[in-house]
Structure 1
Amino acid sequence: MYLTRFRFNTARLGARRILSNPQAMHAAVMSSFPDVLPTSEQSPRVLWRLDRNATAEVLLYVVGPQRPDLTHLVEQAGWPAAGASGTAGWQTHAYTPFLKRLDKGTRWNFRLTANPVHYVRTRDGQPTTKRTAHLTPRHQLRWLLARQEPGGFRIMGASHDERLNGQEGEPQAIIRDQRSLNFGKRGSHGRVTLTTVTYDGRLEVTEPEALRRVLTAGIGKAKAYGCGLMTLAPLG
């Protein structure tokens, strides 16, 4: 497994076109893996996420089974001159060694963009249900908390020093970004509507193997459209 980071040149028209349409973004990501067929159910999972840290700092993270080739993204939406200077224009690191080092009890910062949904009945007394997005931070956090145990992690509360300052010790995760997306799906006259939420927080590893599955296979729905990828970073 490999983890890749690419920074968009948001001043370029090509970057704005790709970033405005999750379907185009999905196609660009899948085009980075020549041996992975996007329409095959047998193909390994490729996860991706956009981190919009600032207007001029939009980062793409990709987790996949092979080293990707993002030359097309550099040419359309990056800095092509970087290639002439000997820099590929993106950074790829082997992910498996990091995953193997995850131990029970270790603690990490995490970021996750997800599509928190639940199912509601379409009519009273009818068995038919409809998938519906959670729209309030309270329910969006509950959705994440319900995935702790099967996901092999526990979301941490306030630290000892923070509790001394009067902050609560309840599970802490910040919802830093929420977006409502509505876009056309290639090959279909219908449209895709979904809500994405980005969480930041701290977690403790409770079951390393389960967490490895989350980090490589994703969590929740809408993985083809930039949801499901959780990444970890050291505390501090």
Structure 2
Amino acid sequence: MTHLTRCFLTPAPNRLTSSPQRLHAAVAAAFPPADTTTSPGHRVLWRLDETHHPHRHTLLIVSPSPPDLTHVIEQAGHPDTPGWDTRPYTPLLNALRPGARMRFRLTANPTKAAFRRGRRGVRTAAATPGEQIQWLLQRAPGAGFAPSPDHQSALMVTRHQILDFPRGPAGQPKKNVHLHAVTYEGHLQVTDPDGLRHTLTHGLGRAKGYGCGLLTLAPDPPAPHPPQG
């Protein structure tokens, strides 16, 4: 069974929401220690979304078991929406069919291989909008979807953040983490339901522990037809 959890948080500066490292630790603490029988690839995914509400962010979590977010609510919960909502995600996953068209949102860490003296070197950030779009287009077939042919703007970059934060055990020297978090929105068409189910539950790209990789779907209303005559 897979679960989808939504929790509203206050965007006011605080120790939790201002640090991907702390929020990663808080999400991990919402679950019991990993069972040795759990598939290593079936991991917890999370994403912190800005919303149209100016004083509220949304924490989304996809997980094999329901989380206990009491400690998250105590540190950063929104006063008007206490608690969190967890629902079964499996019915949506099982309902995916080839050709279905849906809206999507994804925050990912797109990267590209840097070549040095003719050899593939370290991976660097895909920093331009064109590189970021190309990164997702290259991965879409293997992820079980394609941009919807019904929409001219089927794939857009709506946000680009540079996250820079320290990581390391308390009391020890910290290593600085620097990554690009890119939010994509648009419309997709399901090409491979099994592949898309895997993407929805295992994530896409790198930096999944820091709020990247979670793809979510929503119903897509039919695109308007052009006027006739």
TM-score range, shorter chain: 0.7 to 0.9
Q: Say which is worse superposed, 96-105 or 127-136, in terms of deviation.
A: 127-136
* Alignment match, 2:137: 145
Give the Å deviation of 1:135: 0.9
* Alignment match, 1:59: 58
Give the Å deviation of 1:57: 2.1
CA distance in 2, matches of 1:81, 1:195: 32
CA distance in 1, matches of 2:93, 2:120: 40
User: 1:164-203 to 2 correspondence within 5 Å?
Assistant: 169=152, 172-187=154-169, 189-203=174-188
* Alignment match, 2:105: 111
* Alignment match, 1:92: 86
Give the Å deviation of 1:10: 2.8
Give the Å deviation of 1:139: 1.0
Per-residue CA deviations over 1:160-205 (Å, capped at 9, x if unaligned) read: xxxxxxxxx4x62121110001111122531110001000000010
CA distance in 1, matches of 2:220, 2:80: 35
SS at 1:68's partner residue? coil
Paired letter, 1:124: R
Match of 1:216 among 177, 182, 201: 201
CA distance in 2, matches of 1:150, 1:69: 33
Give the Å deviation of 1:148: 1.4
Contact 2:103 2:219 in 1 (8 A): yes
SS at 1:19's partner residue? coil
Give the Å deviation of 1:82: 6.5
Deviation beyond 6 Å, 4+ runs, structure 1:
80-83
The alignment of Structure 1 onto Structure 2 pairs a total of residues equal to 214
Structure 1's unaligned 5+ residue stretches are 84-88, 160-168
* Alignment match, 1:164: none
Paired letter, 2:123: R
Structure 2's unaligned 5+ residue stretches are 222-229
* Alignment match, 1:165: none
Paired letter, 1:94: P
CA distance in 1, matches of 2:96, 2:73: 32
CA RMSD of aligned residues (A): 2.1
Distance 1:58-1:81 versus aligned 2 partners, 3 A rule: closer
Contact 1:153 1:203 in 2 (8 A): yes
Give the Å deviation of 1:215: 0.1
Distance 1:79-1:114 versus aligned 2 partners, 3 A rule: closer
Contact 1:9 1:77 in 2 (8 A): yes
Identity %: 44
Distance 1:182-1:79 versus aligned 2 partners, 3 A rule: closer
Paired letter, 1:139: E
